[in-house]
C-alpha cells in the first residue's frame, strides 16, 4: 500500500511538497477533490488520481480532472456547500479562470472545510506570467495560508480545512514552485475520518446570489474577515524567532532563505525574524509589537511588495519610527531567471539563498564574505539545448503539413501546451499567445481585423478547457479562419492526465469519452475533417481544402502522444536510418522538422536509433527517398 494511505501517524516520510499537501488533505478527511492540472501543482491531483486507481478500496474520496479551473471550483463549491470536505487545486494562472466563481463563493461560503490550492510560479519555470496570487486573497476576502516547505504544506493543508469550517469560508493555500517541488521528512498524523455522504440543505437566502441576498452576504464576508484576523493574531504559523534589534519579516519559501542567512551571517544574536504563515488577514497587532521591538526592518518576500506596503502602512498609522526597507523602487534585475548582481530585492523572479544572504548583509551592515565559487575548470561546456518537441511528436508532422500549405504569410495563433514549442525555428508557427484557449478567439479577432489568412493551433485538452467557447463565438459571428486541433489523446505537457476527449478504456478509467468531430460539428462548424498527421500527403490535401474554405474550418490532427502511447501500448514501429548511398545532402529532414533524433555528422544527416520511434515523417519528406527503415538484426 502507498505510504500516503498509511492510516497511522507518528512516523516521518520523505515527501515532495505536493505529496505532503495530499497527505494533509487525507489526514483532514477530505472527501471530494477537483482540479485542472498545471505546473507546479500537477503532482497533487496526479497523486490523488493515482491513489484512487491503484487502491480503489482504500481511498474514500471522489476525484476528477475538470475541464478547466472555473468548472473545478464550481464543482467543488457544490460539494463543500453540501457538507463534505473538499480540495480544489490549480496553478496561479488557473485562478484567473476561476476568478468569477471565486469572488462570489467567498460571499456564500461553505458548509464543510474547503481548501483552494493556488501554486504560484516565480521566475516562470513553466508559465506565461509570474503573477502574485496573494492579491487574490485580498481581492476575494478569503483567508490565506503560505507554507515554507513540505512539512508546513501538510500541516497547513490539514489546518486549512479546520479553519475553513470554523469560519464557514473557503481558505486559500498559496504555494510556490520551491515549496511544491522540494522534499522534506514529513511527520504523519492519523488519517482523518471521511464524511462521504451529505445532503444539500436548501437556503436560497444564502446560496442564490441575487442582489438583495448578496448585499447581506458581503456583510457576512466582512465579519468573517474580523474573525479570521483574530485567529491570525494567535496563530502558531505567525511566529517570532531569535532576538536582536534588527528585524526581518518574511513568508513562504523566502523565510527559509532568511533563516539560513541568519545562520550564515553569524547573526543569531542580532536579527529577530517574524515568519508569517497565516498571511491574510495579517496579524496586525503582532506586527506592530514586532516593529516596536526593533530599530530596522527588512521585508523579504518574492514578487510583489504586498507585505512591505502593509507593514509601512501599519507603521505610519501607529506612528512607529522604524526604518523599513524591502524592494528598491525602480531597480530591475541584471538578467532574467537568475539575479546576477544581488544588492537589492526585486519584484521579478524567485529569490535564492545567495541573494537573500547578500541583501541582508548589506542592509544591516554585517560583515560577510561570499563563499568562493566552485571551480568548473576542465568541465566541458554543456551543449545548447533549446526547447523542442519530442522525437516522433505528431505535432511536428502537423506543423510541417500546415506550413507547406500556408507558408510564412499566414498568421498563426497558438495556445498553452506542448505546441507552444512550435514558436521556434524551423517550425515558426506561433505568432500570438496569451492564455489557455486564446488561440481560437484571437484567430477570429486577427482574421476579422486584418483579412489575413489565420490558422489557430490548440490541443485537445485545451480545447475542452476553454477553446470550445471561442469556437462557438467564431461560428456565431461568421469568422474566417482554420483551427487545427492537435489531438494527441491526453493532456501531455502536465503529465498525461485524462480529459473529456480521452478514450480512457486503455487506462482503465470508467469515464465517458467525448468524440471531438461530432462535438465540433454540433457547434455548427460546417467544414470539419480528421487527419492522421504522419500520412503527410493526405494530411496536406485535407489542410489545403480546410484553409481554402470560407468561414470557420476545423482540422482534427489525431495521433497519440508518443510518450503516452508507451504507457498504453508497446511500441511496434521500426526505427529509421539515412542511406549514405542515396542521401544527396539536401537536409530537408534537418531544416524543415528539426527532430531531436536527427543530427549532422561530417556533413551527413544521421538518425539516433535510440531516439527514433519510427514515425516516418522524415522518410516522407526526403527528396531522394534516402531514409529507410532499419533492418532488424539477424
Q: What is the mean pLDDT of each run of 10 residues along the chain (634 residues)?
A: 93 97 98 95 96 94 95 94 96 96 96 97 91 97 98 98 98 97 97 90 92 95 97 97 96 97 94 98 98 97 95 97 87 60 77 90 89 82 82 95 96 93 92 93 93 96 95 96 96 90 81 94 98 97 98 97 84 86 90 91 92 93 91 63
Predicted pLDDT at 394: 95
67, three cell numbers: 475541464
Predicted pLDDT at 505: 79
Interatomic CA distance for residues 471 and 552, integer angstroms: 8
Q: For the sheet with 62-65, list strands across it.
A: 62-65, 32-35, 86-91, 114-120, 171-176, 144-145, 278-280
Interatomic CA distance for residues 479 and 441, integer angstroms: 10
Is residue 524 within 8 A of residue 471, CB to CB? The reply is no
Q: How far is CA 486 from the centre of its chain?
A: 20
- Residue 13 burial by CB count (10 A; 0-12/13-18/19+): exposed, middle or buried? middle
Q: How far is CA 549 from the centre of its chain?
A: 36
C-alpha distance from residue 229 to each of 31, 157, 225, 380 (Å): 28, 19, 6, 55
Predicted pLDDT at 396: 95
**pTM score of the predicted model:** 0.91
Interatomic CA distance for residues 350 and 388, integer angstroms: 25
Length of the chain: 634
**Adjacent-strand bridge partners of 323:** 296
Is residue 116 within 8 A of residue 172, CB to CB? The reply is yes
Predicted pLDDT at 337: 56
Looking only at the bridges linking them, the beta strands covering 552-558 and 481-487 are parallel
- Residue 223 is classified by DSSP as H
Interatomic CA distance for residues 172 and 143, integer angstroms: 6
Interatomic CA distance for residues 225 and 228, integer angstroms: 5
C-alpha distance from residue 529 to each of 11, 138, 181, 457, 558 (Å): 57, 47, 41, 15, 10
Percent helix / strand / coil, the chain, rounded to 5: 40, 20, 45
Amino acid at each position: 500500500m502507498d505510504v500516503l494511505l498509511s492510516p497511522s501517524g507518528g512516523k516521518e516520510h520523505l515527501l515532495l511538497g505536493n505529496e505532503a499537501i495530499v497527505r494533509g488533505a487525507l489526514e483532514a478527511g477530505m472527501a471530494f477533490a477537483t482540479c485542472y492540472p498545471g505546473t507546479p501543482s500537477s503532482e497533487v491531483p496526479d497523486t490523488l488520481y493515482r491513489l484512487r486507481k491503484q487502491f480503489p478500496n482504500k481511498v474514500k474520496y471522489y476525484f476528477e480532472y475538470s475541464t478547466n479551473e472555473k468548472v473545478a471550483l464550481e464543482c467543488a463549491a457544490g460539494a463543500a456547500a453540501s457538507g463534505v470536505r473538499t480540495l480544489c487545486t490549480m496553478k496561479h494562472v488557473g485562478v484567473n479562470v476561476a476568478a468569477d466563481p471565486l469572488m462570489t463563493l467567498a460571499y456564500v461560503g461553505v458548509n464543510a472545510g474547503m481548501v483552494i490550492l493556488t501554486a504560484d510560479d516565480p521566475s516562470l519555470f513553466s508559465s506565461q506570467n509570474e503573477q502574485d496570487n496573494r492579491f487574490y486573497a485580498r481581492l476575494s476576502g478569503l483567508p490565506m495560508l503560505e507554507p515554507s516547505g513540505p512539512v508546513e504544506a501538510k500541516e497547513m493543508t490539514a489546518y486549512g480545512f479546520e479553519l475553513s469550517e470554523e469560519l464557514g469560508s473557503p481558505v486559500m493555500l498559496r504555494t510556490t514552485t520551491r515549496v511544491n517541488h522540494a522534499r522534506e521528512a514529513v511527520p504523519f498524523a492519523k488519517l482523518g475520518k471521511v464524511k462521504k455522504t451529505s445532503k444539500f440543505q436548501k437556503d436560497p437566502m444564502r446560496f442564490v446570489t441575487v442582489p438583495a441576498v448578496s448585499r447581506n452576504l458581503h456583510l457576512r464576508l466582512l465579519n468573517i474577515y474580523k474573525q479570521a484576523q483574530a485567529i491570525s493574531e494567535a496563530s502558531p504559523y505567525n511566529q517570532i524567532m531569535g532576538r536582536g534589534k534588527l528585524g526581518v519579516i518574511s513568508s513562504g519559501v523566502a523565510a527559509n532563505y532568511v533563516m539560513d542567512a541568519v545562520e550564515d551571517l553569524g547573526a543569531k544574536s542580532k536579527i529577530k525574524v517574524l515568519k508569517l504563515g497565516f498571511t491574510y488577514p495579517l496579524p496586525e497587532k503582532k506586527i506592530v509589537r514586532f516593529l516596536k521591538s526593533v530599530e530596522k526592518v527588512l521585508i523579504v518576500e518574492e514578487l510583489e511588495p504586498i507585505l512591505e506596503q502593509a507593514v509601512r502602512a501599519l507603521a505610519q498609522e501607529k506612528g512607529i519610527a522604524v526604518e523599513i526597507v524591502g524592494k528598491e523602487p525602480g531597480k530591475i534585475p541584471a538578467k532574467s531567471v537568475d539575479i546576477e548582481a544581488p544588492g537589492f530585492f526585486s519584484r521579478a523572479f524567485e529569490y535564492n539563498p545567495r541573494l537573500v544572504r547578500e541583501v541582508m548583509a548589506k542592509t544591516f551592515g554585517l560583515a560577510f564574505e561570499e563563499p568562493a565559487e566552485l571551480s568548473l575548470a576542465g568541465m566541458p561546456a554543456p551543449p545548447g539545448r533549446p526547447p523542442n518537441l519530442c522525437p516522433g511528436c505528431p505535432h511536428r508532422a502537423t506543423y510541417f503539413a500546415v506550413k507547406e500549405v500556408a507558408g510564412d504569410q499566414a498568421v498563426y495563433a497558438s495556445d498553452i501546451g506542448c505546441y507552444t514549442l512550435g514558436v521556434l525555428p524551423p517550425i515558426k508557427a506561433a505568432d500570438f499567445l496569451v492564455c489557455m484557449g486564446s488561440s481560437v478567439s484571437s484567430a477570429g479577432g486577427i482574421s476579422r481585423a486584418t483579412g489575413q489568412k489565420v490558422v489557430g493551433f490548440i490541443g485537445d485538452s485545451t480545447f475542452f478547457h476553454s477553446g470550445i467557447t471561442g469556437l462557438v463565438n467564431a461560428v456565431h459571428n461568421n469568422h474566417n479562419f482554420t483551427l487545427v486541433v492537435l489531438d494527441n489523446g491526453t493532456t501531455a505537457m502536465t503529465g498525461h492526465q485524462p480529459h473529456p476527449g480521452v478514450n480512457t478504456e486503455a487506462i482503465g478509467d470508467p469515464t465517458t469519452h467525448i468524440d471531438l468531430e461530432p462535438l465540433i460539428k454540433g457547434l455548427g462548424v460546417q467544414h470539419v475533417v480528421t487527419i492522421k498527421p504522419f500520412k503527410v500527403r493526405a494530411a496536406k490535401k485535407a489542410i489545403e481544402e480546410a484553409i481554402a474554405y470560407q468561414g470557420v474550418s476545423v482540422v482534427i490532427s489525431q495521433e497519440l502522444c508518443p510518450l503516452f502511447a508507451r504507457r498504453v501500448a508497446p511500441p511496434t514501429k521500426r526505427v529509421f536510418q539515412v542511406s549514405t548511398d542515396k542521401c544527396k545532402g539536401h537536409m530537408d529532414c534537418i531544416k524543415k522538422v528539426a527532430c531531436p533524433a536527427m543530427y549532422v555528422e561530417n556533413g551527413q544527416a544521421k538518425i539516433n536509433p535510440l531516439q527514433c520511434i519510427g514515425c516516418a515523417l522524415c522518410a516522407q519528406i526526403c527528396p531522394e527517398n534516402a531514409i529507410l527503415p532499419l533492418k532488424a538484426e539477424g
